[in-house]
Structure 1
Amino acid sequence: MKKVMLKTTFSLAVAVASTQIFASGFALNEQSVSGMGTGFAGRSSSAEDASTVFGNPAGMSRLKREQVSIGAAAIVAKSDISGSGTFGGSNDGDMVPVVAVPMGYYVKPIDDHWAFGFGVYVPFGLVTDYESGFAGRYFGDDSEVQVVTLQPTISYAFNDKVSIGFGPTINRIDGKLESATLNPVTPGTNDGRVKIKGDDTAIGFNVGVLVQATDSTRMGLTYHSKVKYKLEGDTKITGTGFGPFSGNKFDASLDIDTPESVDFSVTHELNADWTLYAGSTWTRWSRLEAITVNNEGVPPQLGGSAGPIGIINEEQNWHDTWAHAIGAAYKLNKEWTLRTGLAIDQAPTNNENRSPRIPTGDRTVFSVGAGWSPNDDVTVDLAYTYLWEEDVNVNDASPTKGAYDAKYENSAHGFGTSVTYRF
């Protein structure tokens, strides 16, 4: 069968957030509610509960009791869009549904040196679902990707100063991409649609080191590996412009890597009441240069440049990013701990290749949170985060799609809660 390359923006991510996710690109930060309260400033050095399985597996050595943490974060995003497309349409801006990001962790100390843990979390994610008749519909109007990660983990403490941790990650990705296609007979009316679906399971790893530099200062370093996926599924086309091929499905595949990242942070206990946090994260987003969906058996009249689908080459050309955060926690009394944090996060996109699937810019994130421990066995954590982005422009044009020019003003609210129970 003939093989045709259809290049399109399958802007990867996971079932959860969207263009307003709380980390750069399509990464998600919501793997810990206690960390959410401090803007994730001490993610690799705090090791306050079982969520350290993700933040720094070496931190399990600090947890002296068996414990389980279960939680979720909800994201409420808002976009104001002003712009237009060649063939008309609307810009309502409500393309991000309210979504939830679940998480769960378990840690069991084995002896003075070894500990075992297990985590279930969502490291990347995207959901964008524009209204029917969206002005940029030919460049993407529905994108959903879900990555769920399972991580069995071990840690080893050499002494009371230095520990290490490691865990393989088992990552399941499911993705869906939809776009409108221009009717060659009556452009702008009776649009067709292309829907691409695929999934894969791949292996990565998470490794970290934790150092108690002084009695009051800890330093942590965590490396999350890249994960290489080959999604396999199908491409389905519908619409009057496709003639006898309308409703047909073609085998499809997509090769993509989620990027590696390095997180370094410091936790300093200023006194019995105050704890300070600072951290930086580097992410290798430059791996995302373009997205290529390979379709098997697509007829030439659907794959040629004059066909209803056309051959689309949408480059991404993302760049590596840095995120920086500072935070603080105040122990109000035996039961309550109050938290706050501020983060600055670069966007990997550029002005030339930014698309309506991820129309994101550099963001600033402010966080507050609280931990309530009614007794030594239970802690309930709460967090609230507000994110605002710089205004960004999307300027897309194609012979088979027309043009879409728009300005996006993005913001989001995040709410998180978790419960930790110690046995």
Structure 2
Amino acid sequence: MQFQLNRKVILASAIALASQVSFVQAAGYGINEQSASYLGTGFAGRASNAIDASISSSNPAAISFVEGTQVSVGADVILEGGNFDNGSYASNPSAAKSTDDFQKTAFVPFGYFVMPVDEKWSFGLAGYAPYGIELDYEDDWMGASFGDKTSVQVINLQGTASYKFTDDFSVGFGLIGSHVKGELTSRPFSPASDVKATIEGDDNTVAWNLGALWNVSEQTALGLAYHSKLDFSLKGDFAVGEMPSSPVKLDITMPEKLMLSGTHKLDERWTVMADVTWTRWSRFEEFNVVSSSTGNSVNYVPMNWEDTWALSLGTSYQLNDQWLLRAGYMFDESPVNNENRTVRSPDANRNWFTFGANLKLAENMNVDFAYAYVKLQDGTIEEYKHSNPSSGPSGNPITGTYSSSSHILGAQLNYMF
């Protein structure tokens, strides 16, 4: 079934900036693509290496060490990918047994502003996407009754304050207004049917993040940050074909996460970074869309995700006065495995291989470029249908093999006033 969350304005300018976010390339439904500069190092040092204003999305304390009043704006482009093969579904044996490129090309923009208020306080504003997914299978594929389109999009607007206790230590707090929209569709009768089941809804919530940054020495910095969970209660409509729609609701929680980063300058040219991030994906237990009038499930998919770890290593090399080169690797553990993989979450462990560069255009302006190749491990699926949380699996399962990889391109402009 299709589940669409209609977009609402939290702040017009930030929604315009982030409105085109449509596909997740991090594990689960997470989005890492909030900065081209940190993409270049595989996100290593994203909470400790205060190189530009985009660090505020990871560690609010770090804006105390960003140079001057600064704006960072940019976008990442994630190219299409994703393949399902060797499909088998006894209820629709003649339907297409494979489907390609169900993960569509996506444009993921972001924008940040930071400024010092005085010698102790700094302030920032940010617009970025922390979570989201966009899957759109071919209409005739055999799993269309399990899922045709899956869209969940989250946009964060963040106000940040940081206080520098000493010249080497700061803490920061970010207050976040978060908006979710999404859409679930399916063809409940058969892939050949033109009848679609559609669910729509959206919601807003408030969240926060908290961080600390310690410059242990002139060479070494450590950053620690915590991001709170996002509790959403989506309200929308459910319809099948041309039948009148009925009101429905969905409770969904995007998880809290904790990250620890380190940055160390080896000499005037080489810097190394590392990051470890824990995400509590075990909060994401189900899609359970219920009727607002009866409380009965109208679309139920058990998820049963597990907590995850992401580990990053990266480096940068100052080639000359104009060019800084970057490279990184990240292992991004998935909350999904062969036992709990579904049509709506065809996820797997990811290996990221990233490269980047920073070009100094003027004393107060530079631009970042980044490229990433992301390879997901192949995985299998055996999914049954469920009518509600208390019922067991029913009918015939869909089985098959998922494989996926993606190319990501990023660019970011940093301007200092």
TM over 0.5: yes
Partner of 2:99: helix, strand, or coil? coil
1:293 equivalent to 2:298? Answer no
Unaligned stretches of 5+ residues in structure 1: 1-7, 239-245, 304-309
Q: Give the counterpart of 2:82 among 79, 83, 89.
A: 79
Partner of 1:409: helix, strand, or coil? strand
Aligned partner of 1:259 in structure 2 is 255
Task: Give the partner amino acid of 1:116.
Answer: F
Aligned partner of 1:405 in structure 2 is 399
Query: By how many angstroms is 1:353 displaced?
Result: 2.4
Bigger mean CA offset, 402-411 vs 82-91: 82-91
Give the distance between the partners of 1:216 and 1:376, measured in 2 at CA. 23
Query: By how many angstroms is 1:15 displaced?
Result: 6.0
Query: By how many angstroms is 1:349 displaced?
Result: 1.1
Partner of 1:192: helix, strand, or coil? coil
- Structure 1 pair 30–154 and aligned structure 2 pair: CA distance change class (3 A): same
Query: By how many angstroms is 1:298 displaced?
Result: 7.1
Query: By how many angstroms is 1:160 displaced?
Result: 1.1
Partner of 1:139: helix, strand, or coil? coil
Give the distance between the partners of 2:37 and 2:191, measured in 1 at CA. 49
Give the distance between the partners of 1:229 and 1:188, measured in 2 at CA. 31
Aligned partner of 1:272 in structure 2 is 268
Percent same amino acid at aligned positions? 38
Give the distance between the partners of 2:162 and 2:38, measured in 1 at CA. 20
Query: By how many angstroms is 1:55 displaced?
Result: 1.8
Give the distance between the partners of 1:397 and 1:293, measured in 2 at CA. 17
Pairwise mapping of residues 385-396 of structure 1 onto structure 2 (< 5 A)?
385-396=372-383
Aligned partner of 1:180 in structure 2 is 187
Aligned partner of 1:369 in structure 2 is 356
1:237 equivalent to 2:240? Answer yes
Report how many residues are paired.
393
Aligned partner of 1:203 in structure 2 is 206
Query: By how many angstroms is 1:297 displaced?
Result: 4.8
Aligned partner of 2:415 in structure 1 is 421
Aligned partner of 1:65 in structure 2 is 68
Query: By how many angstroms is 1:191 displaced?
Result: 5.7
Q: Give the counterpart of 1:216 among 219, 222, 229.
A: 219
Give the distance between the partners of 1:337 and 1:85, measured in 2 at CA. 52
Partner of 1:314: helix, strand, or coil? strand
- Structure 1 pair 409–422 and aligned structure 2 pair: CA distance change class (3 A): same
Aligned partner of 1:306 in structure 2 is none
Partner of 1:397: helix, strand, or coil? strand
Pairwise mapping of residues 21-420 of structure 1 onto structure 2 (< 5 A)?
21-82=24-85, 83-86=87-90, 87=92, 88-90=94-96, 91-182=98-189, 189-190=192-193, 192-238=195-241, 246-297=242-293, 313-398=300-385, 402-420=396-414
Partner of 2:142: helix, strand, or coil? coil
Give the distance between the partners of 1:270 and 1:11, measured in 2 at CA. 49
Partner of 1:35: helix, strand, or coil? helix
Asked if the contact 2:75/2:411 (under 8 Å) is kept, the reply is yes
Aligned partner of 1:16 in structure 2 is 21
Query: By how many angstroms is 1:188 displaced?
Result: 6.2
TM-score by length of structure 1 reads: 0.89
- Structure 1 pair 205–312 and aligned structure 2 pair: CA distance change class (3 A): closer
Unaligned stretches of 5+ residues in structure 2: 6-18, 386-392
- Deviations 1:198-231, CA, capped at 9 Å, x for gaps: 1000000011100011220000001110011000
Asked if the contact 1:267/1:276 (under 8 Å) is kept, the reply is yes
Give the distance between the partners of 1:353 and 1:221, measured in 2 at CA. 31
Query: By how many angstroms is 1:376 displaced?
Result: 1.3
Asked if the contact 2:161/2:173 (under 8 Å) is kept, the reply is yes
Task: Give the partner amino acid of 1:418.
Answer: Q
Task: Give the partner amino acid of 1:262.
Answer: L
Task: Give the partner amino acid of 2:402.
Answer: Y
Query: By how many angstroms is 1:402 displaced?
Result: 3.8
Query: By how many angstroms is 1:122 displaced?
Result: 0.4
- Deviations 1:296-333, CA, capped at 9 Å, x for gaps: 3579xxx7xxxxxx966431110000000000000011
Partner of 1:39: helix, strand, or coil? coil
Query: By how many angstroms is 1:289 displaced?
Result: 1.1
Give the distance between the partners of 2:201 and 2:298, measured in 1 at CA. 20
Query: By how many angstroms is 1:77 displaced?
Result: 3.1
Partner of 2:337: helix, strand, or coil? coil
Asked if the contact 1:11/1:357 (under 8 Å) is kept, the reply is no
Query: By how many angstroms is 1:34 displaced?
Result: 0.4
Aligned partner of 2:8 in structure 1 is none
Partner of 2:103: helix, strand, or coil? coil
Give the distance between the partners of 2:80 and 2:286, measured in 1 at CA. 26
Bigger mean CA offset, 313-322 vs 32-41: 313-322
- Structure 1 pair 39–11 and aligned structure 2 pair: CA distance change class (3 A): farther
Asked if the contact 1:181/1:401 (under 8 Å) is kept, the reply is no
Task: Give the partner amino acid of 1:381.
Answer: D
Instruction: Pick the structure with greater CA Rg.
Output: 1
Query: By how many angstroms is 1:294 displaced?
Result: 1.2
Partner of 2:62: helix, strand, or coil? helix
Partner of 2:53: helix, strand, or coil? coil
Give the distance between the partners of 1:387 and 1:33, measured in 2 at CA. 15
- Structure 1 pair 29–168 and aligned structure 2 pair: CA distance change class (3 A): same
